[in-house]
Amino acid sequence: MYRHMFKTSGVLVCGEVRAQSIHSVTMELVGKARELADKKGFDVSCLLFCSELKDRPESLFGYGADRVLLVKHDKLRYFNQDIAAKLLSHIIGQYLPEIVIAPATTSGRTYLPAAAAMVHTGLTADCTGLDIDPASGLLLQTRPAIGGNVMATIKTPDYVPQMATVRPKTFRIPQISHRNGYVEVPDIPEEIFNSRVEVLEMEYSYGEDANIQDKEVVISGGKGLKKPENFAMIKELADLLGGGVGASRPTVEAKWISYPHQVGLSGKVVSPKLYLAAGISGAVQHLAGMQTAHKIVAVNKDPDAPIFKVADVALCGDLTDILPRLISRIRKEVN
């Protein structure tokens, strides 16, 4: 949509409902949307689409939403990218938001690009920062740049809406404030729910791959471990501290460990109390996934490893020496 042909206003947050509950990333994004909207004198709307909702949509007002657009339909019991993309492009056409932000989850990263293509506008994936440019009033979308140790700031100058996805845990959930709002049920043509994609089944897995995003401690290993067996040390340390096991992308690509453990731009963003990176050099893609941790400890044999620049404590040396020493020292403390 060419900017000069439409009068757009407001920030639209694409909320995420999983298993009939409002996922926390929704609150993170509503909080950020409030900040952006206040700089523009805009309203914040939050779109929720689902079959049933256990939570109260009104709960989003306290995080900064002025309006919740609630779409309920039997066909929305499970995520369906075909319906979601058509639905969002319809909502964009109907409400003409100036800015659309959405979670960079497997759902958001799937239907947002399709919706952006349908309405003909830009979309910036996996933003780590969002702000309003005081000069142009445009959305500044920051993300790690291609292949480099640098951040790129991206604008969508001539098309609307300006769209961005953001990884969960990138922004903090704001304090709840007393705000009023209203819930609106948009008019959606029934044909949007006719789909060439049918969800046959959802297999839930809550196994040992428990979400590392919820852990207070994450211990991650990289290629510096030299061999997959050495992940045992990472696991041992993580277990000792009740933490989760993270991994760098190269170790996941080498199939030393499964994808749910991957920390970074293309994996998960984690924000634990303590993040320990062992044998991870610290490519900007990895840093994007962990630099909001409260404290960071890095173990690496290369004194110039970029990971040391974001670490609170740098332990420089052979990890097969340092990790066992650290494990036995902590074990002493635990006992």
In the region spanning residues 229 to 268, those forming contacts with another protein, defined by CB under 8 A, are 241-242, 250, 253, 255, 259, 265-266
Helical (H) or strand (E) element with 46: strand 44-50
3-state secondary structure of 248: coil
Distance CA 18, CA 64 (A): 21
Looking at 65, 181, 285, 286, which residue binds another protein (CB under 8 A)? 285
Query: Terminal CA-to-CA distance of the chain, rounded, Å?
Result: 63
Q: Which residues inside 17-46 make contact with another protein, applying CB under 8 A?
A: 18-19
Residue 183 near another protein by CB under 8 A: no
Q: Of the ranges 49-57, 61-69, 227-235, 303-311, which one interacts with another protein (CB under 8 A)?
A: 303-311
Q: Least distance (Å) from another protein to the CB of residue 259?
A: 7
Site for another protein contains 211 (CB under 8 A): yes
Measure the CA–CA gap between 201 and 257, rounded to whole angstroms.
26
Q: Which is nearer to another protein, 226 or 295 (CB)?
A: 295
Which of the residues 82 through 141 are near another protein (CB under 8 A)? Answer: 82, 85, 105-107, 109-118, 120-126, 140-141
- Is 66 or 126 the residue whose CB approaches another protein more closely? 126
Long-range contacts of 51-55, Cβ-Cβ distance < 8 Å, separation of 24 or more? 51/20, 51/75, 51/76, 51/77, 52/20, 52/77, 53/17, 53/20, 53/21, 53/22, 54/20, 54/21, 55/21, 55/22
How many CB atoms are closer than 10 A to CB 215?
A: 21
Measure the CA–CA gap between 66 and 300, rounded to whole angstroms.
Answer: 48
Q: Where in 150-169 is the site for another protein (CB under 8 A)?
A: 150-159
User: x/- binding map, residues 54-93, to another protein, per CB under 8 A?
Assistant: ------------------------xxxxx--x--------
Round to whole Å and give the CA distance between 223 and 158. Answer: 43
> In angstroms, what is the minimal distance from the CB of 180 to another protein?
32
Shortest distance, CB of residue 286 to another protein, whole angstroms? 12
Q: 184 vs 318, which CB is nearer to another protein?
A: 318
